A = this chain, B = another copy of it.
Amino acid sequence: MAKMIDVAKLAGVSVATVSRVLMGKGKVREQTRQKVLEAIKQLNYKPNRLARNLRRLESQTVVVVIPDISNPFFTEIVLGIQEIANQHGYHVLLGNTNNDVKREIQFIEMVKEKVADGVILVTVRNPKERFLKLAQEFPIVFACEYIKGAELPMVTIDNVRSAQCVVNYLVNLGHRKIGYIGGPQQVIVSRDRLQGFIQGVIQNDIPFEPAYITEGDFGIQSGIEMATKLLQLPSPPTAIFAANDEMAIGAIKAIKNHGLSVPKDIAIVGFDNITMSTVVEPALTTISQPRRQIGQKAMELLLQLIHNPMLKREHIVLPYELVIRQSCGNPSVWSDS
């Protein structure tokens, strides 16, 4: 593999000059520049990033930590991140934790090893204090999930209000008995959505019924199980709101298994708007997060943080949207005030 010195020799200049034309800064006579460029092309030379990065003490790489690469929800975020990263000549290393709490930290430590310059966390399972300390040391941005009550760079939607919006929508459709299938309570968005659900119920003067609240694990199977549980209640709900689309899809399956119909007997609302929610029948009404945009914003924030560690930590809240399909019947436009 050709090295810089080879280029220098061929062009009859010093390595410093080659470096200058490569970096595009420092004055170089146009004529010399051309000679160097010519030599580079002739040798098919590419600078060794390892060396360059060591010299500059940066790796031009960021790592994105997600809990599950095979979950389509996260891949769309990664796409947004990659878009911005590539625009700025950064590489994206994908960190898959498989929901392993330890690996979350391991990936962050890659910054210490200089494998990466910063981290975007799309999963937050470790205790708050830990992150507060780590965020002090390294450039870290949180996307989708976040830390409550902390001054850290985060990009999310308002999970509380969006869940509340769903309840309003359902009530507006005439529902008074609304079941809820929540996500694992360790996850902050699960807690937020549950809170939003409860607020919605209360604000609509619906009697609070604890039996209507169940907890799944974000998988299809748990949606089936929790919906079944709700269906077996003495007075089953007429609508079910699941904290993500997979569980909502599971709920639809369960309802069909019971010989009931969606939305005629029971309305269903999901959360996240994954592709699968357009395939299921009936197509799922759901909350859509601007995933691509979340990824982009998170990466932009990280870039700023890397180049200016003293940056003010801001929490960016992006707008969500209720996508109305067929799973609540009555397809129509609707806007929460």
Contacts and interface: CB of A to CB of B under 8 A. Distances in A.
Interface stretch (A71-79, A151-159, A167-175, A231-239): A71-79
Contact of A279 (B47, B59, B113, B220): B220
Say which size band chain A's interface belongs to: 35 or more
A114 interface: yes
Contact of A48 (B94, B113, B275): B113
What's the number of copies of this chain in the assembled complex?
2
A2 to B, nearest CB: 9
A218 to B, nearest CB: 14
A78 B69 CA distance: 8
Interface of A: 1, 46-51, 53-54, 57, 59, 69-70, 72, 75-76, 78-79, 82, 91-94, 96, 109-110, 112-115, 220, 249, 275-276, 279-281
Given A1-B112, A69-B79, 17 more contacts: A46-B112, A47-B113, A48-B54, A49-B114, A50-B54, A50-B59, A54-B54, A69-B75, A70-B79, A75-B75, A78-B94, A91-B93, A93-B93, A93-B94, A220-B279, A249-B279, A275-B276
